[in-house]
Chain A
Amino acid sequence: MAITLDVNGKPLTVEAAEDTPLLWVLRDELGLTGTKYGCGIAQCGACTVLADGAPIRACLTPVSALGSAKITTIEGLGGDHPLQQAWVALDVPQCGYCQSGQIMSAAALLEQSPKPTDEEIDGAMAGNICRCGAYQRIHAAIKVASGQAPATASPQTDA
């Protein structure tokens, strides 16, 4: 069936079965491959996108369930979002595969809590797995992006 979605501010119409997860519509039909497949059961967060500003797992969200919700993917953040700037300043990514989902979860957090505490960050980010273990820099970059730490913060120390 033809389904119209609001993705990154644009109305887009796709042909898809109504139970198709949003993830595969974004990736295979719309070419928005920044949103990743990691587990398919909402355990890892790699597919996180925003629906009306709230984080959702695209791998388990049927495309027909979205209605008129405004979908924002990593491509919709613009490239110079404070989180993206902080991610680059601290060299957060390692393999990078999970980072779109990490950044989208963090973006939702900052919308809700512009200056999140450590506990709030832990809570909001616990659903996003990073097997490279970039957690410490993800945490630090959220602090930087929310203006709670200087962007020059370098996590390593020499002897």
Chain B
Amino acid sequence: MNAPIFRRAASAGEGVSRRQLIITATAVGGALMVGCSPTDLLAAGAEGETGPFGAFVRIAPDGAVTLVCKHIEFGQGSHAGLAAIVAEELDADWSKVAWEHAPANAKLYANGGLGAQLTGGSTAINNSWDQLRQAGAAARAMFVQAAASRWNVPAGEITVKDSVVSHAASGQSADFAALLADAAKVAPPAEPTLKDPTQFTLIGTDRVRRKDSLAKSTGQTRFTMDVQAENLLVAMVAHPPRFGAKVASFDATAAKAMPGVVEVYEIPTGVAVVANSTWAAKQGRDALSVNWDEAKAETRSSADIAQRFRDLAAGSAALEKGEEWQGFETKGEVAAQGGGLAIEVAYDFPYLAHATMEPMNCVAQVDGNTAKLTFASQGPTLDQLNVAKIVANLPGAIEIETLPAGGSFGRRANFQSDFVVECVQIARKVGGNRPVKLVWTREDDMAAGYYRPLVHHRVRVTTDAEGYPNTWTHRIVTQSIMKGAPFGGGGVDETAVEGAKGSPYLKATPHVDAQLLTPDAGVPVLWWRSVGATHTAYVMEHTIEQLARRAGQDPVAYRRALYEKAAAKRHLAVLDLAAEKAGWGEPAPEGWTRGVAVHESFGSVVAQVAEVKMENGEPRVGRVVTAIDCGTAISPNQIAAQMEGGTCYGLSAALYGQVTLTEGRVDQTNFDTYRVLRHNEAPKVETYIAAQPAGTHPTGVGEPGTPVIGPAVANALLALTGEAITAQPFVKV
């Protein structure tokens, strides 16, 4: 592999290194372009025209302001926060600010934290903060200058409010529409003056609400699934029953006889049926007869994989070629320490499906070397790179119209662009620029892999005389997510250790020996909302809880002491806030037991106190008090929504979520076998946002609410039953 020509900018805060995109020259077809910036290279072939107010701000003749949004809207409501940043600095009338998805263009719309146009790692607001403040402030300065020239008054005396520019002394005022032609001619200032954050009037208020609620409450939002077009064909694909298998032979006679079926094609991932309607495509696909070549297929059961991971962590299985333990946090001398064993515990986490409500899908049109995609693209740059290789064009020339997604939780961005490539392969067979909509059924989606990896942890802690950790030995065994990248980074896969690595509990422990092992398996794995924290938060928080109990200490007081040792001020603050709001220290409501957990992820720190009871043999979660430090809060309403939703997502996994394989075949097929949290099982989440000094850089909220609830519930159950819970899901099917 060539040396990396690009690494992410260093400004995006913590928690994004896991998704560093180290794009090598080989990734764009072998071209070695010396002297180009990485985003030049990624955007090669793109048209890069922007309007007078830059790439992010468009102002219509009627003065209406539109944010050109480089991040996909897939539930988190980040469009509202991003638009509010622009509106704040521009002093635009918020009620009339609109937004739309940006086109695919890595030079204009790269994620500053990831180096490619990609939404992930809870970075949307974080990486856009400075960029959009400047975009809004520059546009404002252009209007101010236009007005100053027109009225012949000093620019410094001009004010702007709700899209109206005024000069008090002369009594003149004009709205953006009236000044637009002149403002558009003003050269944008290179370094516009930003507002003093103490003077913000929009950011942080309840006025910052999402702008798509009406469309989404009336069925008017256009998802990929809803794309309709003249001549549109619908495609479904018969996939192999085991990962790594291929088509050996197939008989399409019956499929082609189905009314509405147009053609059947063999493609690299299976056999595709294209038809005039969704139902016809499904009927045709179901009528296919395919023989599979399973010579290279993964045929192990998930139970076998899990057992091998356990044995590896316990030192009772031999390493195979290419397998190597990697230290990720080491200090002191664990082996030289005496003292009694306090705790040794091993944890198992299953594969998890993202199970978005909208199964994966894509619409593509291909004509020779050109390709246009219309779909919910989470990582347009990745999709452009992968599609460019198929149609033999420059990545920037691949056109993508991004639509909102019916959920993603990470699934729609992967290094292979799996479902996108599949759609393009079919559209290429069809040719002639004819639009092809690839539709995966729920069953296709569930069995397609790209799961949260199966993970095993083994932890051994000895304590000092006061019951605090003196040595901490930690082994993690899991498939590597980043190893699946065609352009990988090497070294420790941060996605596997984040949250254990950097934990304040390890900071507070004098002797640490923490290592990672990443064996290969044939099951495709991927980031899944909150990624490494999905398991590290659980292991750290449930282990600490067991230590607190053995030390005879209150769990909040025990954590507080460790945070003080580690100088983890933000952890301490949210823990105190959650404990206070939950009434920690006072008796829980009759019949309920409280559990607490705290975890930092994506630059934010979340503490939760959950009230739990057993009902019909299953845990029932009631009130969940959540405290978050996410820097400057831009939309308190959407932060609360993300805490509510993230908590449900994490709780669903902890209680019920698991994908298992029997001899290589995925056992779960649909929501009848992949149980997810339902309305009557949902907790009541209260969100408290820890106040920060004005101007504090905002950090993530889409993911940090997910990993904390699992351990909070387990810790309540530990208090209730005296038993630790060392495997997810808690509820066995």
Q: Pick from B214, B441, B680: contact of A88, CB below 8 A.
A: B214
Interface residues in A73-132 (C-beta closer than 8 Å to B): 73-75, 77, 79, 83-84, 87-88, 91-100, 103, 121-123, 125-132
Q: Are A133 and B690 in contact (CB under 8 A)?
A: no
- Interface pair A155/B640, CB less than 8 Å apart: yes
CA of A130 to CA of B682 in the docked complex: distance in angstroms? 10
User: Across the interface, do B228 and A33 meet the contact criterion of CB distance under 8 Å?
Assistant: yes
Chain B 503-520 interface 0/1 with A at a Cβ cutoff of 8 Å (1 = within): 000000000000000000
A55 at interface (Cβ–Cβ under 8 A)? no
Indicate if B6 sits at the interface (CB-CB under 8 A).
no
Q: Is the CB of A31 within 8 A of B228?
A: yes
Nearest A-chain residue to B259, judged by Cβ: A17
Most chain A beta-carbon neighbours within 10 Å: one of B214, B406, B577, B670: B406
B485 CB to closest chain A CB, in angstroms?
A: 26
> Which residue of B77, B355, B357, B686 is within 8 Å of A157 (Cβ)?
B686
Q: Is B687 an interface residue (CB 8 A)?
A: yes
Q: Is A53 an interface residue (CB 8 A)?
A: no
For A77, A98, A123, A129, which residue has the most chain B Cβ atoms within 10 angstroms? A129
**A-side contacts of B677, CB under 8 Å:** 133, 135
Contact indicator A94/B636 (Cβ below 8 Å)? no
Interface of A is mostly: loop
Kindly state whether residue B668 has any CB partner on chain A within 8 Å: no
The reply to whether A137 and B218 form a contact with Cβ atoms under 8 Å apart is no
B298 interface hit (Cβ, 8 Å):
no
Known A33-B226, A133-B645, A154-B637: A122·B680 in contact at CB below 8 Å: yes
Closest Cβ of chain B: how far from A42's Cβ, in Å?
9
A19 to chain B, nearest CB (A): 9
Q: Tell me how far the C-beta of B388 lies from the nearest C-beta in chain A, rounded to whole angstroms.
A: 28
Query: Does A149 touch B at the CB level, under 8 Å?
Result: no
Given A24-B277, A136-B684, A158-B636: A39 in contact with B670 (beta carbons within 8 A): yes
Answer whether A159 and B277 are a contact pair too, CB < 8 Å, given A41-B672, A77-B218, A133-B682.
no
Q: Are A131 and B225 in contact (CB under 8 A)?
A: no
- Please, which residues of chain B bring their CB within 8 A of the CB of A99? 216-217
Cα A134 to Cα B213 in complex, Å, equals: 12
Partner of A159, one of B355, B359, B627, B670: B627
Q: B212, B355, B358, B638 — which one has the most chain A CB atoms within 10 A of its CB?
A: B358
A155 contacts B217, C-beta separation under 8 Å: no
With a cutoff of 8 Å between Cβ atoms, the chain A residues found around residue B690 in the complex are 159
Nearest residue, chain B, Cβ from A89:
B213
Let me know if B678 and A95 touch, CB within 8 A.
no
By a CB distance below 8 angstroms, the chain A residues around B682 are 133, 135-136, 139
CB <8 Å contact, B407 and A131: yes
Selected contact of B688 from candidates A98, A139, A155, A159, CB within 8 Å: A159
Asked whether A96 lies within 8 Å of B679 as measured between CB atoms, the reply is: no
Q: Are A36 and B644 in contact (CB under 8 A)?
A: no
Contacts of A36 in B (CB 8 A): 223, 225, 357-358, 406
Query: Among B278, B279, B357, B686, which residue has its beta carbon within 8 angstroms of that of A97?
Result: B357
Q: Decide: B679 and A94 in contact? CB cutoff 8 A.
A: no
B647 surroundings in chain A (CB, below 8 A): 133
CA distance A77 to B277 in the complex (A): 26
Which residue of the partner chain, among A38, A73, A121, A137, contacts B219 with CB atoms under 8 Å?
A73
The residue in A96, A125, A154 that gathers the most chain B C-beta atoms within 10 A of its C-beta is A96
Minimum C-beta distance from A106 to chain B (A)? 10
Does B217 lie within 8 Å of A158, measured CB to CB? no
Contacts of B223 in A (CB 8 A): 36, 97
The yes or no answer to B665 lying at the interface (CB within 8 A) is: no
Cβ of B206 under 8 Å from chain A: yes
7 interchain pairs, CB-CB under 8 A: A17-B259, A96-B406, A125-B679, A129-B678, A133-B646, A133-B652, A159-B688
Interface contacts beyond A17-B259, A24-B277, A44-B442: sample of 11 additional A-B pairs, CB < 8 Å, sorted by A: A28-B277, A31-B228, A34-B220, A36-B357, A75-B219, A87-B216, A92-B217, A95-B74, A125-B679, A136-B683, A136-B685
